[in-house]
């Protein structure tokens, strides 16, 4: 009977390796799923913004044109004030629709490219937060895959928002180095800074969660996130990414 006993080798860790491999596989699947959901959201937002512009925006512009004609034809009717109120409300609706279209999906990202989109983010940061964002670039910009553009735009947007909310610095610098097949974007400030162990340990601080999200997006496309910060000494975040996503 003793010959049939199961012998366990204390040095055999094949079971642990199998568990680790399964965990890594699940992590890769979750990362891929989160990234694909993010891209699907960006595509849907782009379609919604296009519909707002093509249908509601143009319809409102047509109504304004027709009301203006009616106002001109009835100049002696005594209804000038009513027409002015109608045109004022229509003008507000058109401005709101345009702003909403840009908020949902900035056309500049798809029509003019990533550098122009970063310039737009800089202008928006000044309008929204009073934060000065200086953007400079070197090198020659290659054609960047649309999925990469979406990820990088969302990442830079998140970094600017983090600086506005947490750094306490009145200025942020963005420096892009464009290459033929890869590029880097550096976002820095001279604000409060933070202890990077909160990020490396996966703590759920608002700022760290945003950085974690950026890191996961970048890893999906073969990119990398480098964070340099310490309390009272500002923060520098470097995004490194390929111009294309391959498969």
CATH number at residue 153: 3.30.565.10
Is 2 within a domain? no
Query: What's the token pair of residue 173?
Result: 């610098």
Are residue 160 and residue 234 in the same domain, yes or no?
yes
Task: Pinpoint the alpha helices (H) of the chain.
Answer: 14-51, 58-73, 80-104, 107-111, 114-129, 146-162, 197-200, 206-220
Is 13 within a domain? no
Are residue 144 and residue 187 in the same domain, yes or no?
yes
pLDDT on residue 225: 92
pLDDT on residue 55: 72
Choose one of 51, 79, 104: the last residue of a domain: 104
Are residue 238 and residue 119 in the same domain, yes or no?
yes
Are residue 86 and residue 132 in the same domain, yes or no?
no
Is 225 within a domain? yes
Q: Would you mind telling me the total number of residues written for the chain in this entry?
A: 247
Query: What's the token pair of residue 212?
Result: 């974690």
pLDDT on residue 177: 95
Measured torsion, CA atoms of residues 95, 101, 102, 104, in degrees rounded to the nearest 10? 140
Is 25 within a domain? no
pLDDT tens for the chain, residues 1 to 247? 445 554 555 555 666 677 777 777 666 666 666 667 666 666 777 777 677 767 777 788 888 888 887 777 776 666 777 778 888 888 888 887 777 777 777 888 888 889 999 999 999 999 889 999 999 999 988 788 888 888 899 899 999 999 998 889 999 999 999 998 899 999 999 999 888 876 666 555 555 677 888 888 888 888 899 999 989 899 999 999 998 765 5
Domain count along the chain? 2
What is the DSSP-derived secondary structure letter of residue 201? T
- Prediction pTM value: 0.69
Are residue 94 and residue 143 in the same domain, yes or no?
no
* CB atoms closer than 10 angstroms to residue 184: 17
Are residue 95 and residue 141 in the same domain, yes or no?
no
pLDDT on residue 5: 53
pLDDT on residue 1: 46
pLDDT on residue 203: 53
> Residue 213's domain spans which residues?
111-242
Which residues, other chains included, contact 132 with Cβ-Cβ below 8 Å and sequence gap of 6+?
Answer: 125, 126, 170, 171, 172
Are residue 167 and residue 146 in the same domain, yes or no?
yes
Determine the 3-state secondary structure of 125 from DSSP: helix
pLDDT on residue 91: 84
């Amino acid at each position: 009977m003793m010959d049939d006993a199961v012998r366990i080798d204390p040095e055999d860790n094949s079971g642990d390796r199998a568990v680790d491999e399964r965990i890594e596989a699940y992590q890769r699947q979750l990362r891929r799923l989160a990234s694909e959901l993010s891209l699907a959201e960006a595509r849907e937002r782009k379609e919604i913004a296009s519909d707002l512009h093509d249908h509601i925006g143009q319809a409102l512009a047509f109504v304004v044109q027709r009301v203006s004609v009616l106002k001109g034809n009835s100049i002696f009717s005594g209804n000038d004030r009513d027409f002015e109120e109608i045109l004022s409300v229509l003008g507000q609706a058109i401005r709101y629709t345009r702003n909403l279209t840009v908020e949902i999906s900035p056309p500049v990202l798809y029509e003019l490219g990533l550098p122009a989109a970063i310039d737009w983010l800089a202008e928006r940061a000044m309008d929204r937060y009073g934060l000065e964002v200086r953007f400079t670039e070197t090198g020659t910009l290659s054609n960047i895959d649309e999925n990469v553009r979406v990820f990088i735009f969302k990442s830079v947007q998140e970094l600017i928002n983090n600086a506005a909310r947490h750094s306490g610095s009145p200025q942020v610098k963005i420096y892009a180095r464009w290459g033929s097949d890869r590029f880097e974007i550096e976002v820095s400030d001279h604000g409060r800074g933070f202890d990077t162990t909160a990020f490396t340990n996966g703590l759920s601080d608002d700022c760290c969660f945003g950085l974690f999200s950026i890191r996961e997006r970048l890893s999906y496309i073969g990119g990398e996130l480098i964070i340099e910060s310490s309390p009272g000494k500002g923060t520098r975040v470097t995004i490194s990414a390929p111009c294309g996503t391959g498969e």
